[in-house]
């Protein structure tokens, strides 16, 4: 019996000594589906979009705001609406270690409205104008020009209900796209009314779509119960055909909404912005009221899908819905990914930063140390300098200077570093001259002017 116990103990010890088998997950050298790297070769397009957009925002008096990428989930479910595709299918939502339910932002407006309330911006002079730029996230089906991580530029204005602000938003969005070189752009506008007149219109829509229920897709049959306006925006061909003959919101506006829409169209006429009234245009978020608009690139071809570059509208009830004061508001967003894609298709020019006209070459360890301070001094005085500090030979550095087509090359060797001098070489003529380091900035500026 004792021997048996000893054998059992030995087996137990053996089992204890065995290490658990570590299963390594395969490392995928790629981002998740629907996300991608924006490589250095593509950055000039993005820089151009950012520069033009931010310049337009500044011209129209908008100030930048940055909100968190992660917000509490109920901010979006309450603001955007539970019957929307974004909330039902497309949000990246999770529970934190502390038990908080949060989501990656699927859009900016709800977060900015939250910030407007939280930070007491309602006491500022109206309208309160803000712009934003950054990434959003939606678990959408990736397709051309659409990603699960996508970038938006947009503007929001709080506190003014006059249609002139709506027109200015359209003007700004149109100007940005036009200045980027995308000339063939049409603005589609519609009015979906206020909650008062939309109730009657909703009943008419339900009655119409109920009679066509068998022709609707599965999603639209659900929307019929929750949010029938979204059927007008369905991308399924059979639903689009049914929607063509649906009642139009502009025919069922109250007096206030009709007057507001009329004013908007008159402002757009005055601005000479190409637009057309699109009775089937709605936006995918519940908070919109009255004005809705989208910008489409390219000519309309029968049966072809239109490329929407951006859009927006009025959302007069959102701030109150989130717990703030009753505040009219309007905004727009431009899809930067789509705009960049359109620019590439059209072969449009991109942003090119100012070119370096001076190259700093160094030879030897002591000269390399001195060249760091010299490089900083030149840059601080507004002289753009190129360099290749890691290269050892002067010949290889001069080849780089030739390739960059600089005007001047500054050569700092061991002797020059000790003497406090620099060799200034004019690349076109090949002439070179020794200049004291203390006079280098003035000498370089003088030669560049020539």
The domain that holds 171 is classified in CATH as 3.30.930.10
Given phi > 0 = left and psi -120 to 50 = alpha, else beta, which region is 182?
A: beta
- Which of 319, 346, 373 corresponds to the end of one domain? 346
Residues 279 and 417 in one domain: no
Residues 339 and 364 in one domain: no
Residues 333 and 369 in one domain: no
- Which of 321, 346, 371 corresponds to the end of one domain? 346
Residues 420 and 331 in one domain: no
Task: Compute the distance between CA of residue 174 and CA of residue 312 in angstroms, rounded to an integer.
Answer: 12
Whether 73 maps to a domain, the answer reads: yes
Whether 272 maps to a domain, the answer reads: yes
Whether 146 maps to a domain, the answer reads: yes
pLDDT of residue 77: 87
Whether 2 maps to a domain, the answer reads: no
How many other CB atoms sit within 10 Å of the CB of residue 74? 11
Residues 72 and 188 in one domain: yes
Whether 240 maps to a domain, the answer reads: no
Digitized pLDDT (tens) for each residue of the chain, 450 residues in all? 555 555 555 555 554 556 666 777 888 889 888 899 999 999 999 999 999 999 999 999 999 999 999 999 999 888 776 556 666 668 899 999 999 999 999 999 999 999 999 999 999 999 999 999 999 999 877 666 678 999 999 999 999 999 999 999 999 999 999 999 998 899 999 999 998 888 888 888 888 888 888 888 888 888 888 778 888 878 788 888 888 888 888 888 999 999 999 999 999 999 999 999 998 888 767 788 999 999 998 754 444 456 789 999 999 999 999 999 999 999 999 999 999 999 999 998 888 888 999 999 998 888 888 999 999 999 999 999 999 887 668 888 989 999 999 999 999 999 999 999 999 999 999 999 999 999 999 999 999 987
Q: Tell me, what CATH number does 382's domain have?
A: 3.40.50.800
Place of tokens 């990656």: 104
pLDDT of residue 284: 63
Whether 321 maps to a domain, the answer reads: yes
pLDDT of residue 301: 45
Residues 277 and 374 in one domain: no
Residues 67 and 149 in one domain: yes
Whether 58 maps to a domain, the answer reads: yes
Place of tokens 């509490």: 72
Range of the domain at 427: 358-445
Residues 295 and 395 in one domain: no
CA distances from 330 to 23, 90, 293, 311 (A): 53, 24, 11, 11
Residues 384 and 405 in one domain: yes
pLDDT of residue 230: 80
Residues 366 and 327 in one domain: no
- Which of 322, 346, 370 corresponds to the end of one domain? 346
Number of domains in the chain: 2
pLDDT of residue 242: 85
pLDDT of residue 222: 81
**How does strand 149-158 pair with strand 329-335?**
antiparallel
Residues 339 and 375 in one domain: no
């Amino acid at each position: 019996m004792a021997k048996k116990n000893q054998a059992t103990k030995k087996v137990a010890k053996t089992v204890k000594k065995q290490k658990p088998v570590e299963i390594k997950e395969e490392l995928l050298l790629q981002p998740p589906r629907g996300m991608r790297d924006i490589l250095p070769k593509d950055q000039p397009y993005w820089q151009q979009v950012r520069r033009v957009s931010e310049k337009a925002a500044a011209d129209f008096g908008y100030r930048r705001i940055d909100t968190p990428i992660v917000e509490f989930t109920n901010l979006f479910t309450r603001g955007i609406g539970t019957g929307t595709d974004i909330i039902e299918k497309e949000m990246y939502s999770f529970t934190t270690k502390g038990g908080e339910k949060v989501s990656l932002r699927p859009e900016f407006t709800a977060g900015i409205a939250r910030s407007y309330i939280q930070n007491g911006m309602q006491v500022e002079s109206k309208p309160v104008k803000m712009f934003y730029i950054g990434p959003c996230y939606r678990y959408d089906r990736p397709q051309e020009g659409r990603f699960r991580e996508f970038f938006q530029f947009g503007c929001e204005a709080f506190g003014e209900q006059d249609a002139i602000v709506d027109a200015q938003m359209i003007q700004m969005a149109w100007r940005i796209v036009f200045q980027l070189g995308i000339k063939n752009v049409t603005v589609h506008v519609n009015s979906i009314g206020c909650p008062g007149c939309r109730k009657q219109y909703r009943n008419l829509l339900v009655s119409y779509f109920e009679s066509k229920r068998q022709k609707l897709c599965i999603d639209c049959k659900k929307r019929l119960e929750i949010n029938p306006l979204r059927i007008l925006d369905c991308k399924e061909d059979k639903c689009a055909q049914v929607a063509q003959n649906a009642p139009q919101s502009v025919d069922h506006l109250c007096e206030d909404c009709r007057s507001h829409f009329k004013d908007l169209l008159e402002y757009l006429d005055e601005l000479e912005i190409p637009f057309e009234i699109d009775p089937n245009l709605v936006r995918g978020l519940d908070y919109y009221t009255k004005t809705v608009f989208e910008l489409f690139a390219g000519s309309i071809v029968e049966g072809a899908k239109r490329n929407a570059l951006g859009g927006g509208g009025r959302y007069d009830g959102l701030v109150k819905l989130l717990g703030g004061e009753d505040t009219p508001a309007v905004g727009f967003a431009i899809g930067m990914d789509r705009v960049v894609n359109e620019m590439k298709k059209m072969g449009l020019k991109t942003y090119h930063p100012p070119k370096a006209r001076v190259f700093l070459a160094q030879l030897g360890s002591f000269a390399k140390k001195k060249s760091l301070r010299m490089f900083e001094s030149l840059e601080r005085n507004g002289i753009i300098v190129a360099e290749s500090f890691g290269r050892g030979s002067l010949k290889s550095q001069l080849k780089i200077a030739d390739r960059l087509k600089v005007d001047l090359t500054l050569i700092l060797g061991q002797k020059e570093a000790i003497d406090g001098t620099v060799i200034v070489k004019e690349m076109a003529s090949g002439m070179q001259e020794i200049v004291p380091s203390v006079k280098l900035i003035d000498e370089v500026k003088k030669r560049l002017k020539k």
